[in-house]
Amino acid sequence: MHRLDHEDLNGGAVDATPLHRHGRALRVGIGGPVGSGKTALVAALCRALGEELSLAVVTNDIYTTEDADFLRGQAVLPDDRVVAVRTGCCPHTAIRDDITANLDAVEDLVERHDPELVLVESGGDNLTATFSYGLVDRQIFVLDTAGGDDVPRKGGPGVAGADLLVVNKVDLAALVGADVDRMAADAARVREGRPTVLASVRTGPGVAEVAAWVRAEIAAHADRAAPSDVA
Ligand SMILES: Nc1nc2c(ncn2[C@@H]2O[C@H](COP(=O)(O)OP(=O)(O)OP(=O)(O)O)[C@@H](O)[C@H]2O)c(=O)[nH]1
């Protein structure tokens, strides 16, 4: 597969089209506030899709490799298909502003495994953290009921603009006094037709829907890929 150097993305003389948009791997970013269930969702997607798809994962943590260690510990993928990026800074910087380390990690996985799907999990951050579309093709934003049922109403780039919104931990809603129907209605209003899934990643509901969305995006991505662009 042809490689796209970072210089190319930054205005070099060669074609600046991000080649991964036309290549085999669909790159899906998974972002959202601290503790909302991003790593749990990555693990659940690996379990749901791992038998039918070639998969790889990049995790982002500020100082540790905890999320990658967790995924390796759960044995959701072979260890060498999980790569950790230590951002050393606000997670959103590494997925939106200076994406070099993440691009290196993705390209390394693509070169070694030629996967059909690369999941890039952001470190936990606030509601403004979104991925650069130079790094990913699609993004999922994960909220949880325990973070407050007024969060979807507040909108913001992740909640309103992500390709898929997941409202996780619906199993905890009654315990924390969160009105899931209100969260779904507010999400529908601010997202203007973009899909939302209500989920309990830990107990199962919603995971199949998210996996179906990913499958559909992979199929659409493959349809768009021009044969001449695919190695
Ligand atoms: N009850 C419940 N707990 C969940 C669910 N999903 C995740 N959790 C728990 O919530 C905690 C945080 O989940 P993680 O997947 O680590 O969240 P994260 O968004 O990756 O966290 P950071 O990477 O630290 O931002 C863990 O204890 C999970 O087991 C869920 O659907 N229901």
Whether 189 maps to a domain, the answer reads yes
User: Can you tell me which atom of ligand 1 is nearest the CA of 32?
Assistant: 19
C-alpha–C-alpha distance, residues 81 and 113, integer Å:
8
Whether 200 maps to a domain, the answer reads yes
Closest C-alpha residue for ligand 1 atom 11:
35
Residues 83-98 pLDDT 10s: 999 888 788 888 988 8
Confidence of residue 171 (pLDDT cuts 50, 70, 90): very high
pTM: 0.88
Whether 3 maps to a domain, the answer reads no
Residue type at 217 in one-letter notation: E
Average pLDDT over residues 184-196: 96
Closest C-alpha residue for ligand 1 atom 21:
35
User: What CATH number is associated with residue 98?
Assistant: 3.40.50.300
User: What's the total number of domains in the chain?
Assistant: 1
C-alpha–C-alpha distance, residues 37 and 103, integer Å:
23
Whether 134 maps to a domain, the answer reads yes
Structural domain harbouring 219: 23-223
Write phi, then psi, for 96 (nearest 5 degrees): -125, -40
The distance in angstroms from the start CA to the end CA of the chain is 5
Nearest to 110 by CA among 140, 76, 81: 81
Asked whether 122 lines ligand 1 (CB < 6 A), one says no
Tell me what percent of the residues of the chain surpass a pLDDT of 90.
70
Asked whether 146 lines ligand 1 (CB < 6 A), one says no
Whether 106 maps to a domain, the answer reads yes
ipTM over 0.90: yes
